[in-house]
């Protein structure tokens, strides 16, 4: 059992927790993830490590409340326990040799992008961060990004905060103005990462994307997280989650991620009804 040491709402749909997991905290690195179960009967879900406090033995996770399992997790409070917390899994983000990097995050993907930006900052790299959200009330981790970025650009779809527009617009402007990035790292919705790659590819700027398809066991055995990368089948849980964006088949990835949309919607509705009955 793993204790919830801290819990904080970042916006109406996104929650941050610190989980007491000393063995995971001792080895976790930016880009890696964990798989958890809220209770013994629950499903396994992957969540990216948003930070590790090695001294206190805690691992930070940030999740969006979108389905039955994240609703159950969000119903837990500080001092409560969750059943399983396994990791670190996956390959850490490669940081060696990068002197100037642009981190592009979208929505809750910014929770994954932040530890990556922090890792580059700690290594002395020049960090540009572009983070995008639908509206002002959904903005998360702004102060944290400012503290580790040499330049931070915030965009919102509706223009209610920062610049109005999408993340690819300022990215293209920076490139066309002569900023020379050793690497661009995009983390967010698959469609966003696809368009980031389309923006950087004409300039041949190495671009890494963090893929988070459906996972079950986290060891590559189930095959649920398979992707086509460079014409070959890869598994996000063991070969990733970071991949060369120029080689990812994004259309296939989006089609696979939509396969379970109806099922997930049904499970969420069932969970909502359950929580309502318990409240009554």
Residues in the chain: 280
Say whether both 66 and 158 belong to one domain: no
**Among 210, 239, 273, which residue terminates a domain?**
210
Say whether both 108 and 7 belong to one domain: no
Within a domain: 256: no
**Residue keyed to tokens 């983390």:** 187
pLDDT in tens, 10-65: 998 899 999 999 999 999 998 899 999 999 888 888 898 999 999 999 999 999 98
* Dihedral sign for Cα atoms in the order 47, 16, 142, 126: negative
Q: What phi-psi label fits residue 150: left (phi over 0), alpha (psi between -120 and 50 degrees) or beta?
A: alpha
Say whether both 69 and 140 belong to one domain: no
Within a domain: 239: no
Quick one: pLDDT band at residue 280, thresholds 50, 70, 90?
A: very low
Within a domain: 150: yes
**Among 152, 186, 210, which residue terminates a domain?**
210
Residue 257 has pLDDT above 90, yes or no: no
Residue 259 has pLDDT above 90, yes or no: no
Say whether both 141 and 163 belong to one domain: yes
What's the number of domains the chain is made of?
A: 2
Within a domain: 228: no
Say whether both 164 and 199 belong to one domain: yes
**Among 89, 114, 149, which residue terminates a domain?**
89
Can you read off the two tokens belonging to residue 226? 């398979």
Range of the domain at 25: 2-89
Say whether both 100 and 84 belong to one domain: no
Say whether both 125 and 205 belong to one domain: yes
Measure Cα distances from 31 to 89, 112, 191, 214 in Å. 9, 7, 20, 17
- The neighbour count for residue 147, using CB atoms within 10 Å, is 11
Query: Tell me, what CATH number does 71's domain have?
Result: 2.40.30.10
Residue 272 has pLDDT above 60, yes or no: no
Say whether both 106 and 83 belong to one domain: no
* H or E segment to which residue 102 belongs: strand 100-106
Average pLDDT over residues 156-183: 95
pLDDT in tens, 99-121: 999 999 999 899 889 999 999 99
Say whether both 105 and 206 belong to one domain: yes
Question: Burial level of 233, CB count in 10 A (0-12/13-18/19+)?
Answer: exposed
Can you read off the two tokens belonging to residue 84? 């399983």
Within a domain: 241: no
Average pLDDT over residues 186-197: 94
Within a domain: 259: no
- From 241, 224, 222, 208, select the one nearest 87 (Cα to Cα): 241
Helices (H), the chain: 22-27, 68-74, 110-122, 142-148, 168-176, 190-200, 236-239, 250-257, 261-279
Say whether both 58 and 111 belong to one domain: no
Give the lowest-confidence range in 106-115, 159-168, 267-276.
Answer: 267-276
Within a domain: 130: yes
Parallel, antiparallel or unpaired: strands 242-244 and 207-210? antiparallel
What Rg, from alpha-carbon coordinates, does the chain have?
Answer: 18
Q: Distance between CA atoms of 227 and 249, rounded to whole angstroms?
A: 7
Say whether both 38 and 129 belong to one domain: no
Query: Tell me, what CATH number does 189's domain have?
Result: 3.40.50.80
End-to-end CA distance of the chain: 29
Say whether both 83 and 104 belong to one domain: no
Within a domain: 175: yes
* H or E segment to which residue 224 belongs: none
């Amino acid at each position: 059992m793993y204790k919830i040491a801290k819990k904080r709402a970042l916006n109406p749909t996104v929650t941050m927790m610190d989980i007491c997991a000393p063995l995971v905290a001792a080895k976790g690195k930016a880009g890696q993830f964990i798989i958890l179960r809220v209770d013994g009967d629950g499903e396994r879900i992957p969540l990216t490590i948003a930070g590790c406090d090695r001294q206190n033995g805690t691992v930070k996770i940030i999740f969006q409340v979108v389905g039955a399992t994240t609703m159950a997790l969000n119903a837990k409070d500080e001092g409560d326990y969750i059943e399983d917390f396994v990791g670190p899994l996956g390959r850490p983000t490669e940081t060696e040799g990068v002197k100037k990097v642009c981190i592009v995050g979208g929505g809750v993907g910014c929770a994954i992008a932040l530890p990556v930006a922090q890792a580059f900052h700690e290594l002395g790299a020049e960090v540009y961060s572009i983070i995008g959200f639908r509206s002002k009330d959904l903005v998360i981790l702004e102060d944290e990004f400012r503290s580790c970025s040499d330049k931070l650009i915030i965009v919102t779809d509706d223009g209610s905060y920062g610049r109005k527009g999408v993340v690819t617009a300022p990215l293209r402007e920076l490139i066309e103005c002569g900023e020379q990035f050793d690497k661009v790292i995009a983390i967010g919705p698959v469609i966003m990462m696809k368009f980031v790659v389309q923006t950087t590819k004409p300039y041949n700027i190495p671009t890494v994307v963090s893929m988070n398809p459906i996972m079950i066991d986290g060891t590559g055995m189930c095959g649920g997280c398979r992707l086509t990368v460079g014409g070959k089948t890869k598994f996000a849980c063991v070969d990733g989650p970071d991949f060369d964006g120029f080689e990812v088949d994004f259309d296939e990835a989006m089609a696979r991620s939509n396969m379970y949309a109806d099922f997930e919607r049904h499970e969420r509705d069932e969970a909502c009804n359950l929580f309502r009955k318990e409240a009554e």
